[in-house]
Homo-oligomer: A and B are copies of this chain.
Amino acid sequence: MATIKDVARLAGYSPATVSRAINHSGYVSRQATAKIQAVIAQLDYVPNDIARDLSQGRTANVGVVVPYLAHPYFTQVFNGILKAAFAAAYNVVLLQSNYDADRERGYLEQLHRRAFDALIFTSRAIPLAELAAAQKYGPIICCEDPGDYPLAAAYSKRTAAYRAAFSWIRTQGYQRVGLTFSRSAQLSATTRLTLATYTNSFGQAPAPENIRLGVTTFTDGYQAAQAWARLASQPDFIFSNGDDIAAGIRQFYVDHHLLVPPLMGQENQLSSRLLGLPTIDHHFERVGAAAFDLAASRQIARVPVAADLILR
């Protein structure tokens, strides 16, 4: 494996000049540039990224913590990060967490060791306080509103979107809204926020039997609908945490020749377009791209991304 010294020797210049030639830092004569180019081509030389990283003190890698891949929220945010990172010549290291706080701590440790230049949490199990404290090891970006914590963040303006959605649902005259969530209010800030906004909009909290937890897929939606169908008093509207989930809910009613209640999904996936269901587009790709930009710029800023209520 050729090194910059080999190139320097063969070209008859010093490593310093070769380095400047490669990086177009100026102060290299036409003649030297040409000779160095020729030798580089001859040796099939490319600089060693590890050495470059060491001397520059960075890796051009961002770590992205994701509980798991199989969820549109994560794939969308992740895709946004990926696109922005590619454009900025960064690589993306995918760090799966399964919502395991200790694994997340391991990734913070890797940040400390400079395995990546920044760490983006698309979601998390460890407390925000720990994230905030770990910033001494490097830039950390979360994808939710960090409240009082001084953390960089890119996130959907969920409150506004949910307020608009619930207001619209109420205007339509619905009273007993069924809600699906992936994680309990205890574990998930998003669940808490949704419930709080609901309570605020409707003047009371949703009835416990109208709340379904652990719902993340089409099938989960199907089963949630099945559970509701057994109730005496059924929801007259269902606000679900994803379009595919809404599709699963709908599917249950269709399969059982029941009247499909009015539904709303989230994330503007293909399924809601196909089925003509209203949804909320959180623009998670934008959230991801914004998260990356914060990571690359090392700014501790907040980028709330407006969500769109899509009625059909």
Contacts and interface: CB of A to CB of B under 8 A. Distances in A.
Interface of A: 46-51, 53-54, 57, 59, 61, 63, 69-70, 75, 78-79, 82, 86, 91-96, 109-110, 112-115, 217-219, 222, 270-271, 274
A50 B48 contact: no
A304 to B, nearest CB: 25
**Which one of A61, A94, A222 has the highest number of Cβ atoms from chain B below 10 Å of its Cβ?**
A94
Contact of A69 (B47, B51, B59, B79): B79
A13 to B, nearest CB: 21
Given A93-B94, A218-B271, 10 more contacts: A49-B114, A49-B115, A50-B54, A50-B57, A50-B114, A61-B93, A91-B95, A93-B93, A219-B274, A222-B274
B274 A46 contact: no
* Count of chain copies: 2
Nearest to A244: B218
A113 B45 CA distance: 9
Contact of A270 (B49, B79, B114, B219): B219
Contacts of A50: 50, 53-54, 57, 59, 114
10 contacts: A46-B109, A49-B113, A49-B115, A50-B50, A53-B53, A69-B75, A69-B79, A82-B96, A91-B115, A218-B270
Nearest to A217: B270
B94 A92 contact: yes
Contacts of A219: 270, 274
A311 to B, nearest CB: 22
A265 to B, nearest CB: 15
A93 B95 contact: no
A94 B96 contact: no
**Which one of A54, A57, A70 has the highest number of Cβ atoms from chain B below 10 Å of its Cβ?**
A54
A112 B46 contact: yes
